[in-house]
Amino acid sequence: MTRLLWFRRDLRLGDLPALLDAGADDAEVLACYVLDPRLTASAGPRREQFLYDSLRELRDALDGRLLVTRGRPDTRIPAVAKAVGATAVHISEEFTPFAQARDEKVAAALGDIPLEKSGSAYLVSPGRVTKDDGSPYKVFTPYFRRWRERGWRAPAKTGPKSARWIDPADVSGAGKNLDIPDPGTELPYPAGEKAARRRWKKFVDQGLEGYSADRNRPDLDATSRMSAYLHFGNIHPRTLAADLGTAEGPAAYLRELAFRDFYASVLAQWPRSAWWNFNSDFDAIEVDDDDESFTAWKEGRTGFPIVDAGMRQLSESGFMHNRVRMITASFLVKDLHLPWQWGAKWFLEQLLDGDIASNQHGWQWAAGCGTDAAPYFRVFNPDTQGKKFDPEQAYVRRWVPEFGTDEYPDPIVDHGAERAEALRRYNALS
C-alpha cells in the first residue's frame, strides 16, 4: 500500500495527524511539496526565504526523501499520485478561500483517489465552534467561552519514523525533484521545526510568566515571536497549548491562540470578508485617495514617532509588535482616512507571519467595520500610546535614530483635527 503525503502549511514532522494517517497500516509514503507559482508570486522575499528554509530542514529530517515539484497542484498532485501508485493523498485541511478552491480542484482531478483531510493548523478547526442553533459566532467573547468548553486533542505523536518513506529517486514519472531555492534574504530568526521548538521552550522558560503584564510593550522582548512558525506550520498550536497552565500569563497567551482560531472561522464562514467590510454598512464611508500620505506611512515618515518606528520595524525586519500594529492601523484609517485594504495589503506583502485571516480582520477591527469592531469613536492617539507603551522611547530610538534631531520630520497631520474629521465621517453613516 502506497500513499502520498502532500505538505502545505504544515512543514514539520511532529504533531502531524496527516502523517499519522498516511503512515497507518505500515503503508509506504511519498512526501511531496508543490511550489505553486500563484503563492510564490504573492509572497514577499522574507516569506519565500522562510518557506524555502523550512523545506530544506524538512528534507534533511527525511534524509532527502522529500519530492519538491513546481506547478499547479491540480496538475502536479494527480501526476505524482499516479506515478507512485498512491491509494490516497493525505493533507492537513486548510480553510482560506484560495485553499478551499485549490483543494476542490485537486480532489476533482484525482478522480477515484481520495483526498484525505486530517487535522488543521488550528486548535479547533473552523466550523466546529458554533452556537446552540449551529450558526457561527460573529463576536469573540462568546466564541471564546464555547471554544474553551469544546477543547482540543492532545498533540499527535508523530516524527520521522512514523512512516516508511519512499525515496523520490526511486519513482519514475513524478517529474524532477527540484533543488530548493535559496534567495539569500536575511531573516530575523531561523525557520523550521527545530528553531520553532527552541524558541517556544525559551519563551516558556523566560517570558511566559510576564506575558500578560508586558505583552503590550514594544520596547521589551516580551512576546513569543511564534506567529511565523505557526503560519508555516513549523509547530502546531496544540504543542504550545500543552505547555500552558492556568496562571495569568499562560491564560493571556491562550486567548491569543483563540483569536487566531476565531478569525480563521470568520474567514471560512464569510470569505468575502478577506477584502470587503464585514459590516457592509461601512461600504458607504468616505475615504481619501492620497498616495503621498500613504507613502509617508509606509516609509515611516509621518512625524509621529511610534507610528514611524513600527513601519520601519516592519520594512526592515518583516515583523511588527502587535500593539504597534493597532496604532499604525488606526493612524492610517482614522488620521489619514485611507482605506483599510491599502494597509492590509502592505502588511501582507511585508510581514513574515502574514496571515490572510488574522491580518484582514485585525485591520477591520481597527477600522471599526469588522467583527468585535472597536467603537468607531475610539481613535488611537499615537503620542499617548507611545508614552504609555514605550515610556522611555527605547523602541522609537531603536528604529528611528534621527528622532529628536532636526532631521526628524514634522507631523504630516494634526491628530486632533483628523480625529474630529474621522468622527464626522463615521457619524455620517448613521
Q: What are the tens digits of pLDDT across the range 289-319?
A: 999 999 999 999 999 999 999 999 999 999 9
pLDDT tier for residue 247 given thresholds of 50, 70 and 90: low
- Could you tell me how far CA 355 lies from the centroid of its own chain? 3
36 labelled as ligand-binding? Answer: no
Where a domain ends, among 234, 269, 304?
269
Alpha carbon separation from 286 to 333, 339, 421 (Å, rounded):
11, 9, 10
Residue 164 maps to a domain: no
223 labelled as ligand-binding? Answer: yes
301 lies in the same domain as 379: yes
Residues forming a β-bridge with 70: 35
Residue 185 maps to a domain: no
95 labelled as ligand-binding? Answer: no
Where a domain ends, among 204, 236, 269?
269
Report the pLDDT value the prediction gives residue 248, as an integer from 0 to 100. Answer: 73
- Mean pLDDT value across the chain: 95
71 lies in the same domain as 88: yes
139 lies in the same domain as 8: no
395 labelled as ligand-binding? Answer: no
259 labelled as ligand-binding? Answer: yes
Scanning the structure block, which residue is given the C-alpha cell 514577499? 44
Q: How far apart are alpha carbons 296 and 308 in whole angstroms? A: 9
257 labelled as ligand-binding? Answer: yes
Q: Check which CATH number belongs to the domain holding 212 and give it.
A: 1.25.40.80
- Inform me whether the pLDDT recorded for 430 exceeds 80: no
Mapping DSSP onto H, E and C, the string for 379-393 reads: CCCHHHHHHHHCCCC
122 labelled as ligand-binding? Answer: no
Residues forming a β-bridge with 34: 69
Give long-range contacts, CB 8 A cutoff, 24+ apart: 348-352: 349/44, 350/44, 350/46, 350/314, 350/315, 350/318, 351/44, 351/47, 351/314, 351/318, 351/319, 351/320, 352/46, 352/47, 352/50, 352/187, 352/188, 352/228, 352/231, 352/317, 352/318, 352/319
Which grid coordinates belong to 332? 492610517
62 lies in the same domain as 141: no
pLDDT tier for residue 246 given thresholds of 50, 70 and 90: low
- Inform me whether the pLDDT recorded for 39 exceeds 90: no
Report the pLDDT value the prediction gives residue 171, as an integer from 0 to 100. Answer: 92
Residue 311 maps to a domain: yes
7 labelled as ligand-binding? Answer: no
256 labelled as ligand-binding? Answer: yes
Compute the residue count for the chain: 430
211 labelled as ligand-binding? Answer: yes
348 lies in the same domain as 217: no
140 lies in the same domain as 115: no
261 labelled as ligand-binding? Answer: yes
Where a domain ends, among 269, 288, 314?
269
408 labelled as ligand-binding? Answer: no
Give the domain range for residue 212: 121-156+193-269
Report the pLDDT value the prediction gives residue 100, as an integer from 0 to 100. Answer: 97
281 lies in the same domain as 421: yes
Q: What are the tens digits of pLDDT across the range 40-83?
A: 777 788 999 999 999 999 999 999 999 999 999 999 999 999 99
115 lies in the same domain as 128: no
Report the pLDDT value the prediction gives residue 347, as an integer from 0 to 100. Answer: 96
Q: Please check whether residue 90 is in contact with residue 3, taking contact to mean a CB–CB distance below 8 angstroms.
A: yes
Containing 4, the helix (H) or strand (E) segment is strand 2-7
- Inform me whether the pLDDT recorded for 229 exceeds 80: yes
Q: Check which CATH number belongs to the domain holding 409 and give it.
A: 1.10.579.10
φ/ψ (deg, to 5) at 38: -65, -35
Residue 14 maps to a domain: yes
